[in-house]
Amino acid sequence: MAGLSERMAVLLDLGGPVVALLLLMSVVAIAIALLKLWQFHSLRLGSQQFVSSCLEGLRQGQEDTVLERLAVERNPIARAMEAAIRGRRDPGMSLELVREEVTRVAIGYLDALRSYLRGLEVIGTLAPLLGLLGTVLGMIDAFRQLEGAGSRVDPALLSGGIWEALLTTAVGLAVAIPAVILLNWLEGRVERFRHRMEDAVTQVFTQGMTGRRDVAGDHHSITRLQSQRAADAT
């Protein structure tokens, strides 16, 4: 720990405030990563075996048993399926209202899963730019010192100033690359989860819908409303 603290002090001394800001951004990125991993684990996003068994129970008309099984699951897919089943059983609700309610529940969870990802995107974009800014400032300082040396130019002075200036670019890339990789992995996982949720909800609506009107319109309802909200936001 003492050696690491000493290296960090040297890095901050050479890189100045730019490196300090980049190190702070790396701490924020690590915090976001840990938060999202904990969130995914607590919601058990990887545990989706119950979906197949619940859909099979619906095919057999065991809705009460399926609802009991869904009630103990923490996965957001269970909440969307539960809302679809309860709404489907309510004769006072039209299918359109049921779909709107299911979409509201699903989008609420998806928005929570996407929270803080924007922060990773900002870090991945700004870190290389800050590193480049530090390099430019360092090069300006190196050439200023070279000019001040006049005719007594020491090549070591220029080379030393250049590598110190390039240090900020290296730190910026070291922060940005893991942040971008992590961002793409998290976004991909959320997108795959969204498709799985949409598929499960669609199958809930298509099981035992004889006698109910307007079944076909529910397909891709989550995606459709998300796109509409995104268009309204822009």
Give residue 21's domain range.
10-124+176-227
| 161 is a domain residue | no
Q: What is the 3-state secondary structure (H, E, C) of 114-179?
A: HCCHHHHHHHHHHHHHHHHHHHHHHHHHHHHHHHHHCCCCCHHHHHHHHHHHHHHHHHHHHHHHHH
| 53 is a domain residue | yes
- pTM tops 0.85: no
| 136 is a domain residue | no
| 189 is a domain residue | yes
| 15 is a domain residue | yes
State how many domains the chain has: 1
Residue 5 has pLDDT above 60, yes or no: no
- Each residue's pLDDT tens digit, 159-214: 666 777 788 888 899 999 999 999 999 999 999 999 999 998 888 888 754 434 44
| 168 is a domain residue | no
| 149 is a domain residue | no
| 220 is a domain residue | yes
